[in-house]
Amino acid sequence: MSKVLIVEDELSIAELEKDYLELSSFEVEIETDGQQGLEKALKEDFDMIILDIMLPEVDGFEICKQIREAKEIPILMVSARKEDIDKIRGLGLGADDYITKPFSPSELVARVKAHLNRYQRLVNNQMEANDIIEIRGLKIDKTARRVYLNGEEKVFTTKEFDLLTFLAGHPNRVFTKEELFNKIWDMESLGDIATVTVHIKKIREKIEVNTAKPQYIETIWGVGYRFKM
């Protein structure tokens, strides 16, 4: 259940907004004082703030500014003032939307749902985990195309990264130089497969403690290479 804070000094309006939101399965709290509304918004976890501009103690513009400095939750500003300058100021301070009184409660609910849905999609996208391979201190972030060894980032060329990622993505399987060349360089008859050996050497120099006794990429003599789990 999404939690909404209404900061509105006209209690009758706030209670009407609350009733309609609760009918749509929102959990709603009301504050009629600007300072108390600001403190509650900053201290507690809300999914959205409905914020009147004309408030006692602290006005909606200042509240919006301070909330936005601390949180990314949606803010819907409400006012009886229709001047464009107020809308521009409110949006410029970080409000997501601006609605003028009088408005229908159903319009308010529709706007709240729209902003919460958009915000949730944004949060979900940001929370999607990167595709990462981690083996004995070696971390390969496939999404960001970055490689770390014991927390220290190692710089890889495009082909070095592609080759390492391919081998690590197929652990304990032996690949011939020809197979790796065809897979990474996407050529069957052109080029020199010796480039595979060169790239393996460069990768080992970056991730192996002892290149003579590699713990990650093994040479299978007479066959090719294997990434060891």
- Which helix (H) or strand (E) element contains residue 225? strand 224-227
Q: Residue 168: how many CA atoms within 13 Å on its side-chain side?
A: 23
Q: Is the pLDDT of residue 189 over 50?
A: no
* pLDDT tens-place string over residues 23-78: 999 999 999 999 999 999 999 999 999 999 999 889 999 999 999 988 889 999 99
pTM for the complete prediction? 0.56
Q: Is the pLDDT of residue 142 over 60?
A: yes
Q: What is the DSSP string of 55-79?
A: -SSS-HHHHHHHHHHH----EEEEE
Predicted local distance difference test score (pLDDT) of residue 88 = 86
- Does the pLDDT at position 152 exceed 50? yes
CA distance 31 to 41: 10
Cα four-point dihedral sign 201, 220, 196, 170:
negative
Helices and strands: H and E segment counts in the chain = 8, 12
Structure tokens at 221: 């003599």
Residue 16 pLDDT more than 60? yes
Within 10 angstroms of residue 214's Cβ, the number of other Cβ atoms is: 18
